[in-house]
Homo-oligomer: A and B are copies of this chain.
Amino acid sequence: MDVSNTPATVTWTETPEGPSVRLIDQTCLPGELVLKDCYALEEVCEAIKSLRVRGAPAIGCSAALGVALAVYTSGADCTRELISVVEDAAKQLAATRPTAVNLFWALERMRQLAQQSASLPPEAFRQVLLEEAQRIVDDDIDRCRRIGQYGAELILEGANILTHCNAGALATAGYGTALGIIRAAHQQGKDIHVWADETRPLLQGARLTAWELAQEGIPCTVICDSVAASLMQMGKVDCVVVGADRIAANGDVANKIGTYAVAIAAARHEIPFYVVAPLSTLDFSLATGQEIPIEQRSPEEVCYLADRVTEPICPEGADVYNPAFDVTPAELIAAIITEVGIARQPLAASLAGLSGEDSSAGFGSSS
């Protein structure tokens, strides 16, 4: 976060009880700011699965730190064994959530480094892996800031910006992607206002986006997801900015369920629809968004209003379909803003060009 008294989304922390992956438990927001210490890999996996930490970049960071935690908490006294620990940890972490590719990208970086570090003694091996995980975290904040600088130019003075879900500091190691460019525009002195879709079922927009923006005094109004199209019809939305969980080679974007509906409405009203993501969200191994695996989640998230009620909102035994993501086709997207620049239509060529400018990013990793 850019707010001095707000803790980081996820960090490596030395505690009296040993090393911890410390994260803001986002299921408790906005009511309470709770920090959760994960002292074991299993706790990191649980935190990702249950969305205590969420958002594609933050999941990647948490996974990298989770691998480091696994090697630090392992009693193994030879590096060969520690490499097995890394492989096992990567397998467990990879099974937490299927859609956000940043998870697999971060795990791949950790696995490759582990293989390359086979000749190191155990303690040096542990340290090298932790440094890599911390680099992934630090890089993420840095990338978000660069994204913010590129993207802020798209936000005009006086703009009403609609966003879906939370692609903010809480979805990254800090600063945010979609909210990063909103934050940057605000810091430039632009007078802007944000419409935050509440984002059913888990309400990340109402709970997290509105909370983050309130911390910084950026004007924000929460709406039910179904209101967005009507606001556009009334001329009250100037642009849409959202994050991404995975972007296929052709520019199709998987993001929080409901993103596609917003994109269709924006297209009808000729409102620019921007996707904001670091290059680690690109998956060039998939030709189109149709190949992106879409996570199906529990009906209880819908029926029990994100675990906030004990009596279900649906009649007993009702069927519920609860996909976590949808795919917005590239044709509906005006631009994708990354840390190395803005990809415009045609997105496929533009993304390929941008990714070539940052050969260190290591694209193409897939689940």
Chain A interfacial positions (CB closer than 8 Å to B): 30-31, 195, 197-201, 203, 206-207, 210-211, 214, 219-231, 233, 257-258, 260-261, 264-265, 268, 302-303, 305-306, 308-309, 311-323, 326-327
Contact = CB atoms under 8 A, between A and B. Distances in A.
11 contacts: A200-B225, A206-B313, A206-B318, A207-B315, A211-B315, A214-B315, A222-B320, A224-B322, A226-B226, A229-B260, A229-B326
Contacts of A311: 31, 308
Given A229-B326, A318-B220, A322-B224, A265 B258 contact: no
Complex A-B, nearest 3 residue pairs according to Cβ-Cβ distance, in ascending order: A226-B258, A229-B261, A230-B326
B224 A302 contact: yes
Contacts of A257: 224, 226-227, 230
Given A203-B313, A313-B206, A315-B30, A227 B258 contact: yes
A305 B305 contact: yes
Contact of A227 (B264, B268, B319, B321): B321
Interface of A is mostly: mixed
Contacts of A260: 229-230, 233
Contacts of A320: 221-223
Given A223-B320, A231-B321, 11 more contacts: A30-B312, A30-B313, A30-B316, A31-B311, A199-B226, A207-B314, A214-B315, A221-B320, A223-B322, A224-B258, A225-B225
B264 A313 contact: no
A322 B198 CA distance: 12
B317 A214 contact: yes
A40 B314 CA distance: 32
A318 B200 CA distance: 17
Contacts of A315: 30, 207, 210-211, 214
Contacts of A305: 305, 308-309
A167 to B, nearest CB: 16
A311 B302 CA distance: 18
Contacts of A326: 227, 229-230, 233
Contacts of A195: 321
A171 to B, nearest CB: 17
B200 A198 contact: yes
B223 A321 contact: yes
Contacts of A322: 223-224, 227
Contacts of A227: 257-258, 321-323, 326
A197 B314 CA distance: 11
B264 A268 contact: yes
Nearest to A304: B308
B323 A230 contact: yes
A314 B222 contact: yes
A198 B314 CA distance: 9
Given A206-B302, A302-B198, A315-B211, A225 B228 contact: no
A30 B225 CA distance: 23
A248 to B, nearest CB: 15
Contact of A224 (B30, B201, B220): B201
Contact of A200 (B219, B224, B261): B224
A224 B199 CA distance: 9
Contact of A228 (B230, B261, B306): B261
A253 to B, nearest CB: 13
Nearest to A256: B226
